[in-house]
Structure 1
Amino acid sequence: MSKDGRIRVDLDSKICRTLTRLIPTPREPEFPPPSYPGTEICDLHLNIVIQVVGSRGDVQPFIALGNELQKHGHRVRLATHNTFEAFVLKSGLEFYPIGGDPSELMAYMVKNPGLIPQMKSLRDGEIQRKRAMVAEMLTGCWESCISDDPVSGAPFVADAIIANPPSFAHIHCAQALSIPVHMMFTMPWSSTRSFPHPLANLKYSNTEPKTANFVSYGIVEWMTWQGLGDVINDWRATLDLEPVPATEGPSLCNTLKVPFTYCWSPSLMPKPIEWPAHIDVCGFFFRSLPDYTPAPDLHAFLQNGSPPVYIGFGSIVIEDSASMTALILQAVKTLGIRAIISRGWSHLGEESSNDQVFYLDDCPHEWLFQHVSAVVHHGGAGTTACGLRFGKATTVVPFFGDQLFWGNLIASRGLGPKPIPHKSLNPQNLADAIRFCLTPSAQAAARDVANQMRDEAGVSTAVASFHRNLPLDRMRCDLLTSEPAVWKLKKSSKPFYLSRLAAEVLVEHHRLKASDLEPHASHEIYIQNRRWDPVTGTTSSLIGTGTDIMKATGDAFLLPYQEFRRHPHTPGEITGPSNERSPSVSSTGASSMVTTNSERQSRLKTTGVAMAASAKSLGKAVGHSYKGMLIDMPLAASEGLRAVPRLYGDEVQDHGDIRDWKSGAMFAGKNFAHGMTGGFTGLFTQPYKGGQKEGAKGVMKGLAKGTLEMGTKVSSAALGLVAYPAHGMMKSMYTATHSGTRKRILEARKREGKYLEEHTEKGRVGRQVALRKFEAQQLRATTIQG
């Protein structure tokens, strides 16, 4: 771990060489960069929840996004930390608190700027507190998807989720609800050959640079998942979702092809050529310029002298703010300039301002940056974007995260000096950096970038990207076409989708029964445990089964011990000389008898609970052993054998997802047919293909491939006849026995439909339209049958 918090990734080391084998090798793209999305029309009115974890600078761009989504008729809820409630509500968006303290998070990140914490934080118990905070925010994010509005009490169930990656709950909430999810972020999070992950500091000699860049993303994702995977899986269990396999967690977004929109200017950093169409770079998210009137003292300071330099670190929490203040003041004095010092969350500055320095408590950057000569800040994406928007040369003093990335990008374009990590900051290099920002060349470069950015419409382009990636053909109600479908008719010759409001109207007016409807999944998400080969697949399954058995066996002894610790001897007992407990002497015999009986019952109850916990754990151990031997390991072997062609560059046949016993049986049938035919025909087709490409050498390679395929495909086909249906049956059993979350979602959707029908203008109009269209549809169906 380097001092700036980035991970030193030595790709020549043994562990990195091993890990890179688990990350798909990138190929050079053979197509031009996809065009950025233009206007995309979407006439569906959705409930959208935007989940954001971070500082005010992380939240503010999504306020601009939410306001733009509202213009398209969407109902938008911004779910973030409680401290931003007034900020969000003032913007006209709905707010839902997810918990977590951003100031505490910022203070922690300043002390532990990377993914690996310092020993002091471990000793102080900060890691456990942060993990508990993450668990709290995960729960808050889920509640933001299905809970009533805290202010109005209006029911809300999300139809789509927009989130930044650090919120972590996004994909899992979308899976529980079977709705689309769209990621939006201010820093690169998708693997590319163009530049390394912002949190990675690469070191290599034998690896090709572009490949090193690509691999850095996978390594950072793996390390992130190692720290939070167990917290996320424990939380998933509360949503009745199965745990995410350790090998799948780090790459979920990539595997599931989750749409990504990056909110930085393509004129500053263009979209990498290998990013597919579902990944967009749309421009910075700017909200409308605020109608702001400065306080008299700020107005007077700006009017009575040359434009000052802005210096501030926003939401960063610095341990020694007095020393930082003294450092800044010395640099300002050395240059003889005027400055505005933002107090921020670190409370920088002295008690009172003077003619040279003004201490600022709060002011919108969009207004203030129009009146300064240059800016010095921590390099947060939002503050960086705002400075560039108004053509201000910039000095970045990074503390953690992507801040060094933005500082280096600014320096590479001549918009400011090289970034100065906060631990290296001193009065001299700060003065030199500000001096550079005030040069004509830096000022001109900043104005040029601002002119290019002026032609971009980041927020509206991002909304178009969001609309373009929605599965609109599966989301529309057949009666109220502007409403999203959440129900469908069970018995219908073709799919017939209904919105919350339409379903409520038809049931309320006795056109349908509630039993005629079933939930409609507009975007189903399935997380499969993919295998790379039969050896690692079977081995990992064996290790997983062994771990589960050992944990369950350990719980058979641990849980009773914990139960007895929670219920020690009751206050009415005393311990005699022989260490045997006896009833205490009471003032009356009756009282003593009652106390003794109560104590006896308490001990019996505690013993019973402890024995039940032990028996349950032993039962789990037996269950894990049977499941591992009869289902998990055969499934892993079959999947590993089926995946072998991928090892030498061939495609593996996709037979769909296994959701239940029926799809498991269908998967087994397809795999058997394809495995048997492909296994035997490969002995002839592979040498032929090889000969066409490489002549005699290709024939020999083809013979080797064909022989290998015959063994692997035929074996996978045979094993799969048992493994895949059994896996599907386990899925069906899990779904049947874990229905609490599903029932809660259905109740919330019914409640919102009833609310819309009874309390809104949309319900009054929709009632008439839904009844008229449904009766017309029924009449057409009757006429056709006649």
Structure 2
Amino acid sequence: MEHHKTYSKEGNTAPYQPHDQPPPPYDAIPQDLTEAQGISVNDDGRVVVDASSRLCRSLSKLLPHVIPQTLPPPDYSERVSTFKFPLNIVIQIVGSRGDVQPFVALGTELQKTGHRVRIATHNVFEQFILEAGLEFYPIGGDPADLMSYMVKNPGLIPSLDSVREGDIQKKRLMMAEILHGCWQSCLMPDPITNAPFVANAIIANPPSFAHVHCAQALGIPLHLMFTMPWSPTKAFSHPVVDWLSWQGLGGVINDWRKHELELEPISLSDGPFILSKLNVPYTYCWSPGLVPKPDDWSHNFDVCGFFFRDPPDYQPPLEIAQFLNAGPPPVYFGFGSIVLDDPEQITKTILQTVKETGVRAVISRGWSKLGGVAPGELSGDDVLFIDDCPHEWLFEQVSAVVHHGGAGTTACGLRNGKPTIIVPFFGDQPFWGEMVSAAGAGPDPIPYKQLKVATLAQAVRFCLTTEAVRSAQGIAAKMQQDEGVKTAVASFHRNLPQGLVECDLLPEFPACWRYRLGKKRFRLSKIAAEILVEKNLLDVKNLKPYQPNPITIENTRWDPVTGISSAGMGLTFDMLKAGGDIFYKPYKVYQDGRTSPLPSPSGSENNPAQLSPGDSARSIGKAQSTNDFATRRNVEPKQKGRGVAMAAASTHASGKLLGKMASGLMVDLPLAAAEGFRVLPGLYGEKVPEYGKVKDWKSGAVAGAKSFTIGMGEAVTGVFYQPYKGARDGGAAGFAGGLLKGTFGVVGKMAHGKDILHLWAPSGALSPFTFADFLPTKGSLGLVAYPSQGIKQSIHSALHKSTRKLIMAALHLEGYDMLRQERVRGIEDRMVIERFTAMTQNDFDHNIDYI
């Protein structure tokens, strides 16, 4: 729903109180497109939806009824500064320096609590992160290109210019590189020190996209942290970036999941919602004194305060010091990492504004190189152009700040009590502009396409008023009460899963392996496992990676009709694509001489299964080449005739077509129907039965048996129980409703199960009309569908071992390195051996030589 709101700057004599009125909307958009349908898009790509329109009311009927969680929010004053054992934490960040800098502060605080922290981001930030004393891992990607793309396409809806210039394909290739780099950051050795590393947990900002998939592959916890609203709320508008991104990048992500992580693809309809389905915790990095936590966010959402790093020890160059001392405090102008289309025009606008208002100005050249003069060169006595300078120091010296509205820059200005003018370009920048305006600490935001001298001059004059200064200082006073980084660390610790447990033998380390010996089950740390392997007390082949937070991503089914329809559409699409490949792949081979079939990783000479605990970090780096996404997509063919290669490509595509058809008809469609019938009771308010996650043939058989048993019982009892329950709760009207529910349930559950039973019953054992005719459809389908799905999962697991072997090799390598370091410090192995012996002495006798 569109809102227009203007905040008067006259007579504002008191700081804004956040509870006086709700925060303003995320955007204010003129209704210029499809107004009759209640949807419009403004010039910067933001979309506004009128929820009361006929279209939205109709679409809302298709959405499932969601009961909001009523658990109380956590106590923000609660502090959990330490955890019971140290973790390897990788922080994955995609974005500009303003996105990276808050996580440097977070990483430093996590390091203080004993964790090992690796920040994985773009290569250009390496020195910045290393100077902060944190580990760095490059994920590729060019943030300048990302910023340029976002300025051109602020709403993620590509413009015609972007399409013509090939920006879409460039972004997809960049995202493929970033996905690959994020996965490597979870288990590759340090690129500088060669120190092995396997992540125990992932912290990420949402635009990195790889986070949940890496967490699924490793079975480790994920925690999202961000500086802008990313989650749905009624309190203010929020971006639909997940949905839009999946439409453009879903294919890239699924291709990466398949080839590098060896995970099954995610449907485009489920992709945007997997984070909410998995209840991934969020921590939002802004001050609750500026934007309080919305009431409709669940207990695993925190608003903790802005992240500020310790002030750097900065000594300004002589020209900056002299300029600041030569007159009254200047106004700061700068747009940081924004890549401007016309920096010369923006520079002229700023200089003319300075002249009209009579202020002094410090202009940060930024990535767009504003000014076109050498760093430090004066453009008159009242203007100084500068290059990089820490905002924490600089904003203490100025009277007001004018910038693009990045969360970090906004926070730094407000923390120093400086009135703020925001010129937003995309993303969260309009949001922060509205928040600053609502608080009285600045004028209404000025979209960069509307930036004129008169408008900017009026905004500068307002920022110099007593009212604006008083409001900004009031916000600063509130922010002083926040401990954003410490609160975020507490939020991270509080949301870690219960499955993240200590080693059974060395409780000061987290469990990373599981080991079964007779009836005994052990959870072992990396170092404990290597000690036992070295002493020949356990067979390394029986060690399996322990997953403290197993993640299963399943297709969502609302009812049998939509479930079967969705599965049928997916099967049709897959078959059409596979059928087209029969002709396209040979043509592709003919055109560029490449073969379509990809070599099996198991055939690589650097198979990670061949790595031993003593192998070097270089060996595991070579092993990664078997999973390298880019390499696997650009494998040169063996020397053979083009005709043979074309025939092989066609045969490979034909095999995929037959495989898709068999899997779809025998597994996917029956499973969609079974799941649709399983969730059907939820449509009329009944409890939906749970059969457990299907991970292999065993769990599939259990789920099938539960489905059959529960389905048959519900079909027999429902027609009697529902009317009784209705009469008990609602009298005669309730009895009628219960009778309808019971009848509807029977129609859905009772049907011809005879054909399914005949799959295993002896011929003629059942008469044409037996009890089998009235067996529950849900149970009968489940009896076949869930075991079939389990068998499919087991086959997939058996044929795709490369990623698991890579993870195991990385665990062994880090364990061996930890063992070597502990021995250097004089740690003995006797304690581990004695504890293991005591725990296993009932199973077998040990004859241990400690010498």
**TM-score (ref. length: structure 2):** 0.83
Report the alpha carbon displacement of residue 131 of structure 1 after superposing the two structures with TM: 0.7
Correspondence for 2:137 = 96
Report the alpha carbon displacement of residue 495 of structure 1 after superposing the two structures with TM: 3.3
Report the alpha carbon displacement of residue 780 of structure 1 after superposing the two structures with TM: 7.9
Correspondence for 1:316 = 338
2:590 counterpart of 1:528: no
Correspondence for 1:327 = 349
RMSD after superposition: 2.2
Q: 2:48 aligns with which of 1, 4, 8?
A: 8
Q: Which amino acid aligns with 2:246?
A: W
Contact 2:79–2:490 (Cα < 8 Å) also in 1: yes
Q: Give the number of aligned pairs.
A: 732
User: What per-residue deviation string (whole Å, max 9, x for no partner) do you get for residues 106-144 of structure 1?
Assistant: 111111111201101101111100111011100000011
2:787 counterpart of 1:746: no
Paired with 1:604 and 1:734, the residues of 2 have a C-alpha distance of 30
Q: Which runs of 5+ in 2 are unaligned?
A: 1-40, 595-636, 750-775, 847-851
User: What per-residue deviation string (whole Å, max 9, x for no partner) do you get for residues 422-478 of structure 1?
Assistant: 000101111111111111111111111111111111111111111111125543111
Contact 1:32–1:273 (Cα < 8 Å) also in 2: no
Paired with 2:518 and 2:228, the residues of 1 have a C-alpha distance of 47
- 1:37–1:179: structure 2 CA closer, same or farther, 3 Å change rule? farther
Contact 1:29–1:273 (Cα < 8 Å) also in 2: no
Paired with 1:514 and 1:32, the residues of 2 have a C-alpha distance of 46
SS in 1 for 2:157: coil
Q: Which amino acid aligns with 2:122?
A: H
Correspondence for 1:382 = 408
Correspondence for 1:173 = 214
2:167 counterpart of 1:146: no
Q: 1:223 aligns with which of 241, 244, 248?
A: 244
Correspondence for 1:571 = none
- 1:384–1:361: structure 2 CA closer, same or farther, 3 Å change rule? same
* Bigger mean CA deviation after superposition, 47-56 or 713-722: 713-722
Q: 1:466 aligns with which of 459, 477, 492?
A: 492
Correspondence for 1:555 = 581
Correspondence for 1:260 = 282
Paired with 2:244 and 2:57, the residues of 1 have a C-alpha distance of 15
SS in 2 for 1:611: helix
Q: 1:729 aligns with which of 791, 795, 803?
A: 791
- 1:763–1:623: structure 2 CA closer, same or farther, 3 Å change rule? farther
Correspondence for 2:320 = 298
Contact 2:363–2:386 (Cα < 8 Å) also in 1: yes
Report the alpha carbon displacement of residue 28 of structure 1 after superposing the two structures with TM: 6.4
Paired with 1:668 and 1:117, the residues of 2 have a C-alpha distance of 46
Correspondence for 1:233 = 254
Q: 1:644 aligns with which of 677, 680, 688?
A: 680
Report the alpha carbon displacement of residue 415 of structure 1 after superposing the two structures with TM: 1.4
Correspondence for 2:610 = none
Contact 1:757–1:763 (Cα < 8 Å) also in 2: no
2:661 counterpart of 1:659: no
Paired with 2:518 and 2:493, the residues of 1 have a C-alpha distance of 29
- 1:698–1:649: structure 2 CA closer, same or farther, 3 Å change rule? same
SS in 2 for 1:8: strand
Q: Which amino acid aligns with 2:455?
A: N
Q: Which amino acid aligns with 2:551?
A: I
- 1:603–1:418: structure 2 CA closer, same or farther, 3 Å change rule? closer
Paired with 1:689 and 1:391, the residues of 2 have a C-alpha distance of 62
SS in 1 for 2:562: helix
Report the alpha carbon displacement of residue 248 of structure 1 after superposing the two structures with TM: 1.4
Contact 1:490–1:518 (Cα < 8 Å) also in 2: no
Contact 2:68–2:298 (Cα < 8 Å) also in 1: no
* Bigger mean CA deviation after superposition, 612-621 or 11-20: 11-20
2:517 counterpart of 1:491: yes
* Bigger mean CA deviation after superposition, 10-19 or 111-120: 10-19
Paired with 2:88 and 2:509, the residues of 1 have a C-alpha distance of 10
SS in 2 for 1:485: coil
Paired with 1:320 and 1:762, the residues of 2 have a C-alpha distance of 59
Correspondence for 2:423 = 397
Q: Which amino acid aligns with 2:149?
A: Y
Paired with 1:513 and 1:526, the residues of 2 have a C-alpha distance of 29
Contact 1:37–1:280 (Cα < 8 Å) also in 2: no
Paired with 2:844 and 2:639, the residues of 1 have a C-alpha distance of 70
User: What per-residue deviation string (whole Å, max 9, x for no partner) do you get for residues 343-367 of structure 1?
Assistant: 1111112522232111111111111
* Bigger mean CA deviation after superposition, 322-331 or 468-477: 468-477
2:716 counterpart of 1:676: no
Q: Which amino acid aligns with 1:270?
A: P
Q: 1:513 aligns with which of 533, 539, 543?
A: 539
* Bigger mean CA deviation after superposition, 451-460 or 464-473: 464-473
Correspondence for 1:585 = none
* Bigger mean CA deviation after superposition, 745-754 or 508-517: 508-517
Report the alpha carbon displacement of residue 623 of structure 1 after superposing the two structures with TM: 2.1
Q: 1:117 aligns with which of 147, 150, 158?
A: 158
2:793 counterpart of 1:771: no
Paired with 1:638 and 1:14, the residues of 2 have a C-alpha distance of 34
Paired with 1:14 and 1:742, the residues of 2 have a C-alpha distance of 50
Report the alpha carbon displacement of residue 31 of structure 1 after superposing the two structures with TM: 5.8
Paired with 1:689 and 1:736, the residues of 2 have a C-alpha distance of 48
Paired with 1:604 and 1:429, the residues of 2 have a C-alpha distance of 68
SS in 2 for 1:416: coil
Correspondence for 2:171 = 130
Q: 1:477 aligns with which of 496, 503, 508?
A: 503
Paired with 2:461 and 2:302, the residues of 1 have a C-alpha distance of 36
Report the alpha carbon displacement of residue 775 of structure 1 after superposing the two structures with TM: 3.8
Q: 2:79 aligns with which of 39, 43, 51?
A: 39
Paired with 2:593 and 2:364, the residues of 1 have a C-alpha distance of 54
Q: Which runs of 5+ in 1 are unaligned?
A: 200-216, 569-600
User: What per-residue deviation string (whole Å, max 9, x for no partner) do you get for residues 515-565 of structure 1?
Assistant: 342221111100011211111111111111122122112111111122222
2:372 counterpart of 1:346: no
2:796 counterpart of 1:720: no
Q: Which amino acid aligns with 2:458?
A: D
Report the alpha carbon displacement of residue 701 of structure 1 after superposing the two structures with TM: 1.6
Correspondence for 2:25 = none
Report the alpha carbon displacement of residue 33 of structure 1 after superposing the two structures with TM: 4.3
Question: More helix per residue: 1 or 2?
Answer: 1
1:565-644 superposed matches below 5 A: 565-567=591-593, 605-644=641-680
Contact 1:52–1:167 (Cα < 8 Å) also in 2: yes
Q: Which amino acid aligns with 1:685?
A: Y
**TM-score (ref. length: structure 1):** 0.90
- 1:616–1:567: structure 2 CA closer, same or farther, 3 Å change rule? closer
Correspondence for 1:423 = 449
Q: Which amino acid aligns with 1:750?
A: H
Paired with 1:772 and 1:442, the residues of 2 have a C-alpha distance of 69
Contact 2:70–2:298 (Cα < 8 Å) also in 1: no
* Bigger mean CA deviation after superposition, 271-280 or 311-320: 271-280
Paired with 1:646 and 1:37, the residues of 2 have a C-alpha distance of 38
Q: 1:432 aligns with which of 438, 442, 458?
A: 458
Paired with 1:193 and 1:27, the residues of 2 have a C-alpha distance of 15
* Bigger mean CA deviation after superposition, 21-30 or 603-612: 21-30
Paired with 1:284 and 1:65, the residues of 2 have a C-alpha distance of 10
Contact 2:531–2:819 (Cα < 8 Å) also in 1: yes
SS in 1 for 2:125: helix
Paired with 1:14 and 1:666, the residues of 2 have a C-alpha distance of 46
Contact 1:631–1:726 (Cα < 8 Å) also in 2: yes
Contact 2:69–2:298 (Cα < 8 Å) also in 1: no
User: What per-residue deviation string (whole Å, max 9, x for no partner) do you get for residues 146-198 of structure 1?
Assistant: 1110100111111111000000000000111111111111111222222121x
Contact 1:537–1:636 (Cα < 8 Å) also in 2: yes
SS in 1 for 2:49: strand
Contact 2:696–2:791 (Cα < 8 Å) also in 1: yes
Q: 1:57 aligns with which of 98, 107, 125?
A: 98
Paired with 2:592 and 2:160, the residues of 1 have a C-alpha distance of 32
2:496 counterpart of 1:456: no
Contact 1:61–1:287 (Cα < 8 Å) also in 2: yes
- 1:781–1:562: structure 2 CA closer, same or farther, 3 Å change rule? closer
